[in-house]
Structure 1
Amino acid sequence: MSELIVRASTEADVARCAEIYGHHVLHGTASFEVDPPDIAEMTRRRAAVLEIGLPHLVAERDGRVMGYAYASNWRPRPAYRFSVEDSIYIDKDAVGQGVGRALLPVLIDQCTALGKRQMVAVIGDSAQTPSIRLHAACGFEMVGTLKNIGFKFGRWLDSVLMQRELGVGATTLPP
């Protein structure tokens, strides 16, 4: 197996990102969407991330995108402007191959370089132990669980909240 390359996504990657995400929407609980967005919607979502100056990354192996990650604003209110939420989706056939461990540290570093101070992970379903372990390995701490907050596939689902400081975190005032 050759090395993973993490890089900024391009518009040419959107169809592959839509394919990866669509699988999670239809077959998993990492996303609480129930209908996969089409390529036009995925293009719009990527553009929205880039428009606010946040990173949208892909990890590729042998020229094939194996996963993607991006940051978005945690919430729209101005007081949250130093906090972001991460999202990571891995190809179903690449789970456990280090794709998330390649993507998340780069996303953290890029958000830190942008002056962000906190990163939040909202992990769909408390049974998403690979995602919980990945975030813990990258310095996130469990901060809460929203019990039975979603309903998908005929069952109630939790959302796990994890958080980590970026850079100096809250030890100093922002510029």
Structure 2
Amino acid sequence: MSDSAIRSATPADIPAITEIYAEAVRHGTATFELEPPDAGEMRRRFEALQAGNFPYLAGTVDGRIVGYAYAGPYRPRPAYRFTVENSVYLLPASHRRGIGLALLNELITQCAARGYRQMIAVIGDSANVASIGVHARAGFDMIGTHPNVGFKFGRWLDTVMMQRALGAGGRTTPE
């Protein structure tokens, strides 16, 4: 039986994270980037999220990183400061093993503990039923679809928007 764990990502994880993301960029529609960023750029992105005190997680199986997840600002304007956007990426061989859901659930827990009130998922490609399903299982509601907003692999792609309240959500004034 495999031993899986979710933990905070570290700078030493950047090469594995870069590899996972490059696979998603080259072969998938979960991200609309067209060229995979190099490890230096991935480190810069990681450090920016860490400096902003956003959670960045690694999912491991038998000590090997097979996925990662992070939250970041939803939008830069101050009124959005209590809302985060999530991202979850897995190696293809790790799909449908519960790792994505475990990463997302831990991300939800950590964001709620940091005082965030809403989490937004911007899911690339309305055909990405696995990601839509994982988000639904984690308590996200469908809030809309932006049809034909991305063009990748010679076709138009939608983005699916899902949202989940964190903690008290919008029921109380944030502190």
Match of 1:77 in 2: 77
TM-score calculated relative to the size of structure 2: 0.99
Alignment map for 1:61-100 (pairs within 5 Å):
61-100=61-100
CA drift at 1:97: 1.1
How far apart, in 2, do the equivalents of 1:117 and 1:102 lie? 20
Q: Deviations over 1:102-131 (max 9, x none)?
A: 100100000000000000000000000000
Match of 2:45 in 1: 45
- Contiguous gaps of at least 5 residues in structure 2: none
Match of 1:20 in 2: 20
1:154 aligns with 2:165: no
How far apart, in 1, do the equivalents of 2:104 and 2:159 lie? 19
* Partner amino acid, structure 2, of 1:7: R
Say whether the 8 Å CA contact 1:122–1:160 is kept in structure 2.
yes
CA drift at 1:2: 1.4
CA drift at 1:101: 1.3
Q: Which runs of 4+ in 1 moved over 2 A?
A: none
How far apart, in 1, do the equivalents of 2:47 and 2:171 lie? 32
Say whether the 8 Å CA contact 1:4–1:102 is kept in structure 2.
no
SS in 2 for 1:127: coil
TM-score calculated relative to the size of structure 1: 0.99
Q: Percent identity?
A: 54
CA drift at 1:98: 1.0
CA drift at 1:3: 2.7
CA RMSD of aligned residues (A): 0.6
Match of 2:127 in 1: 127
Match of 2:163 in 1: 163
Say whether the 8 Å CA contact 2:30–2:128 is kept in structure 1.
yes
How far apart, in 2, do the equivalents of 1:20 and 1:60 lie? 12
Paired residues, what number?
175
* Partner amino acid, structure 1, of 2:100: G
Say whether the 8 Å CA contact 2:31–2:124 is kept in structure 1.
yes
